[in-house]
Amino acid sequence: MANRIGVYVCHCGTNIAGKVDVAEVARFARGLRGVAVARDYKFMCSDPGQEMIIRDIRELGLNRVVVASCSPRLHEKTFQNACLRAGLNPFLFQMTCIREHCSWVTADGLEATDKAKHIVAAAVARVNYHEALYSRVEKVHPDVLVVGAGIAGMQVALDISRAGHNVHLVERGPSIGGHMAQFDKTFPTLDCAACISTPKMVAVSQEPRINLMTYAEVVDIKGFVGNYTATVRVKPRYVDMRRCTGCGLCMEKCPTKVPSEFEAGMGERRAIYRNSPQSVPNKPVIDAAHCRQLGGKKCGVCAKLCPSGAIDFEQKEQLVSMDVGTIVLATGFDVFDPTPLGQYGFGRYDNVLTGLQFERLNNAVGPTDGKIQMKNGEKPGSVGIIHCVGSRDTNHHPYCSRVCCMYALKYDHLIKDKLGHDTQVYNFYIDMRCFGKGYEEFYRRVQEEGVHFIRGRPAEVTDEDGHLVITCEDTLLGRIVRVPVDMVILCTAMTPRADAAEVARTFGISQGLDRFFLEEHPKLGPVSTATDGIFLAGTCQGPKDIPDAVAHASGAACQALSLAARGEVTISPTISHIDPDICSGCKSCIDLCAYSAIEFDERRRVAVVNEAMCKGCGSCAGHCPSGAAQIRHFSERSIFTELSGMLAGLPHPPAATVAMAHPIPAAETHGQTAQGA
């Protein structure tokens, strides 16, 4: 039976029709072999657009459909579902893009129309060789793996566990809580960070459905959506978690002191330590790099003192493997190290701090018990806050970190609040970005508290007779100002984790230009990734404040949960098939397959694809010397015909003659341009 192809050319409002002569493309399509009907319409993806396709399939007996509109990455599923509703196998459909790759990027309308015709001709040629394919249904393991236990990871774990699913929550650090646990207050409400995050930390540790693994890292992921196997490396803590009571005696007597990471270098910790007295789990860990005993020297003081015998220097790292259906990454951010910005004197002058260091200084359980003071213990009489350090800077990170304006305002308020109104606070900003709920109001409030705002990016911070002097062009006054201050706070950028590339590879996801993890779609898929079943939560996807991170996390939890709760997932049937009649049994595909999905049938002397393991990458098909291996939907025949359609009428005719190369049947009756169907 000859194919009856329907071609649908979308205007996409003026997005396509503004450049491409869509009626002309539809007219051209009517002349292509096998095309029974070709229409153009304002919005193909709309209800009437889809209805039009469904009606044509039914009434005109179409057995192939081509839609030329936006990128298939956006609406392929939409139209496949429309075909399905009309009783047509969704793989007898081809979507081709004349928007992102044609109308939006071509300067000249005639050329765009010409290109659109080629694109449509290729799709029509190819669809002739499509086969009906049937998706495979696989079970989804109900458990979820959450990586990172900051505020976003904790939110994900709580949301999912409360829905009745088991969560494996893996945290790299010795305790959970992430950056939020280091903060004192949160903007704009000035909620105490501990008051709102510690209950969450405790809830996580007490939730029976959450398997909390601290001091652990995911080292390997295998499998596919719904059926992942994760390997987690649990680092030796040298403290038996079951025996330890968290009394803290060991930490008091440990002779080794090193700068504390949790205190951002503002305080010290011992070699056996916990981040704070409120840590969850509230049990210490031995830092093997600094411990005297583990370093081969004579010590073991902690072991002698421990009343419960919990110290175990013989602990070894463990590899734990677990089956999960979906994965949520909530690996967070790093704080930009301002050392490369030497002009601000970080690391050179005692009283130049990063924002995170100031958070610790200001924190009630921080190194100064919350007293804002200089290195010499005195109260600063004036403080300069430099915004956008490392962000909005093409030398470092071009993006805006989205939180610095607001936390700077929080510092403004807290400094005035704690040190008194006579303390002068100067903000050096480029633009104030106070876009969230209640943020602009908070900005106004801080302005009214008498904080100074100087618009400009400071040139340098110098030390003049024991005073720090900030030199800056005030771009509103148009002159250079020199502001003497006692303390400088640098609002450092939020950056991707230093090992983000490594993590991206482990999980098979991508990074954006800014090196944060890349979401599936910037607007419509902000929590999913290109890899099915792997989702993003919080700042690993881009800078976020706490409300946004929590909202993002709940979104990710919901998406992971929708897969887990449904319990099954359809797997694309566009996988490899090796024709046993053609296969010569050379076995070269077997070693090529990255998924070990091809086995050799010794009896028949042919290679056989294991359909459950094949992902359809086509390594075998691209190589097979006899052409026996073919990827369904991307068969050699489809690609060859696609090429012939793409190159038809060449070499290089002007637009008009392309149409002439495919004479248009005059008596084409049902091919009328659809008018407001």
Partner 1 sequence: MEAFEPTIIAFVCNWCTYTAADLAGTARMVQSPRLRLVRMMCTGMVDPKYVIKALLSGADGVLISGCHPGDCHYINGNYKARRRVKLLNEILTGFGFDERRLKLTWVGASEGNEFAATVNRMVEDIRALGPSEAAAVQAL
Near partner 1 by CB under 8 A, which window of 170-178, 200-208, 297-305, 645-653?
645-653
The Cα 385–Cα 383 span in angstroms is 7
Q: Is 120 in the site for partner 1 (CB under 8 A)?
A: no
Q: Which is nearer to partner 1, 451 or 504 (CB)?
A: 504
CB of 91 to partner 1, least distance (A): 14
CA atoms within 13 A on the CB side of 587: 7
CB of 70 to partner 1, least distance (A): 9
Q: Which is nearer to partner 1, 75 or 200 (CB)?
A: 75
Q: Is 656 in the site for partner 1 (CB under 8 A)?
A: no
Q: Hey, what amino acid is at 484?
A: P
Task: Please state whether 532 falls in left (phi above 0), alpha (psi between -120 and 50) or beta.
Answer: beta
Q: Is 651 in the site for partner 1 (CB under 8 A)?
A: yes
Contact by Cβ (8 Å): 175, 185: no
CB of 592 to partner 1, least distance (A): 7
Nearest to 338 by CA among 286, 397, 405: 397
| Contact string 587-626 vs partner 1 (x = CB under 8 A) | -----x-xx-------------------xxxxx-xxx---
Query: Virtual CA dihedral for 238, 244, 249, 255, nearest 10 degrees?
Result: 0
Query: Virtual CA dihedral for 283, 207, 235, 323, nearest 10 degrees?
Result: 170
CB of 616 to partner 1, least distance (A): 6
Nearest to 154 by CA among 89, 102, 199: 199
Please tell me whether residue 161 adopts helix, strand or coil conformation.
Answer: helix
CB of 69 to partner 1, least distance (A): 12
Beta bridge partners of residue 577, listed in sequence order = 630
Q: Which is nearer to partner 1, 397 or 416 (CB)?
A: 397
Q: Is 141 in the site for partner 1 (CB under 8 A)?
A: no
463-482: which residues touch partner 1 (CB under 8 A)?
none
CB of 203 to partner 1, least distance (A): 36
Q: Is 495 in the site for partner 1 (CB under 8 A)?
A: no
Q: Is 11 in the site for partner 1 (CB under 8 A)?
A: no
Q: Which of 640, 657, 670, 672 binds partner 1 (CB under 8 A)?
A: 640
Q: Is 229 in the site for partner 1 (CB under 8 A)?
A: no
Q: Which is nearer to partner 1, 246 or 618 (CB)?
A: 618
Q: Which is nearer to partner 1, 166 or 539 (CB)?
A: 539
Beta bridge partners of residue 668, listed in sequence order = none
| Contact string 313-342 vs partner 1 (x = CB under 8 A) | ------------------------------
Q: Is 518 in the site for partner 1 (CB under 8 A)?
A: yes
Q: Which is nearer to partner 1, 245 or 626 (CB)?
A: 626
The Cα 275–Cα 268 span in angstroms is 10
The Cα 337–Cα 340 span in angstroms is 7
Q: Which is nearer to partner 1, 307 or 622 (CB)?
A: 622
Contact by Cβ (8 Å): 64, 79: no
Task: Please state whether 369 falls in left (phi above 0), alpha (psi between -120 and 50) or beta.
Answer: left
Q: Which of 508, 584, 591, 657 binds partner 1 (CB under 8 A)?
A: 508
Q: Which is nearer to partner 1, 482 or 505 (CB)?
A: 505
Q: Is 191 in the site for partner 1 (CB under 8 A)?
A: no
Residue 636: alpha-carbon gap to chain centroid: 35
236-295: which residues touch partner 1 (CB under 8 A)?
none
Q: Which is nearer to partner 1, 484 or 525 (CB)?
A: 525
CB of 411 to partner 1, least distance (A): 33
Q: Which of 119, 125, 302, 310 binds partner 1 (CB under 8 A)?
A: 119
CB of 652 to partner 1, least distance (A): 6
The Cα 122–Cα 361 span in angstroms is 65
Q: Is 555 in the site for partner 1 (CB under 8 A)?
A: no
Q: Is 209 in the site for partner 1 (CB under 8 A)?
A: no
Nearest to 185 by CA among 372, 336, 422: 372
The Cα 124–Cα 8 span in angstroms is 11
Residues ≥6 apart with Cβ < 8 Å to 536: 328, 329, 330, 509, 517, 519, 526, 527, 528, 529, 552, 556
DSSP string, 257-292: EEE-TTTTTSSEEESEE-S-TT-SS---EE-TTT-T
Contact by Cβ (8 Å): 269, 252: no
Q: Which of 643, 660, 670, 672 binds partner 1 (CB under 8 A)?
A: 643
How many residues touch partner 1 (CB under 8 A)? 56
| Contact string 35-74 vs partner 1 (x = CB under 8 A) | ------------------------------------xxxx
CA atoms within 13 A on the CB side of 655: 14
Residue 92: alpha-carbon gap to chain centroid: 33
Q: Is 513 in the site for partner 1 (CB under 8 A)?
A: yes
Residues ≥6 apart with Cβ < 8 Å to 392: 398, 399, 400, 430
| Contact string 566-585 vs partner 1 (x = CB under 8 A) | --------x-----------
**Beta strands, E only, 572-662:** 576-578, 598-601, 606-609, 629-631
Q: Is 639 in the site for partner 1 (CB under 8 A)?
A: yes
Nearest to 14 by CA among 115, 121, 99, 101: 99
Q: Is 195 in the site for partner 1 (CB under 8 A)?
A: no
Q: Which is nearer to partner 1, 272 or 518 (CB)?
A: 518
Near partner 1 by CB under 8 A, which window of 37-45, 333-341, 604-612, 644-652?
644-652
Q: Is 129 in the site for partner 1 (CB under 8 A)?
A: no
Contact by Cβ (8 Å): 329, 527: no
Q: Which of 58, 60, 61, 108 binds partner 1 (CB under 8 A)?
A: 108
Q: Which is nearer to partner 1, 246 or 512 (CB)?
A: 512
The Cα 557–Cα 549 span in angstroms is 12
CB of 100 to partner 1, least distance (A): 3
What are the structure tokens assigned to 459, written together?
């040139």
What are the structure tokens assigned to 346, written together?
């970080």
Contact by Cβ (8 Å): 259, 268: yes
Q: Which of 1, 2, 107, 524 binds partner 1 (CB under 8 A)?
A: 107
| Segment holding 448, helix H or strand E | helix 439-448
- End-to-end Cα separation, the chain, in angstroms: 29
Q: Which of 42, 101, 235, 292 binds partner 1 (CB under 8 A)?
A: 101
Q: Is 660 in the site for partner 1 (CB under 8 A)?
A: no
Q: Which is nearer to partner 1, 241 or 643 (CB)?
A: 643
Residues that bind partner 1 (CB under 8 A): 71-74, 97, 99-102, 104-108, 111-112, 114-115, 118-119, 122, 504-505, 508, 510-513, 518, 530-531, 574, 592, 594-595, 615-619, 621-623, 631, 634, 636, 639-640, 642-644, 646-647, 650-652
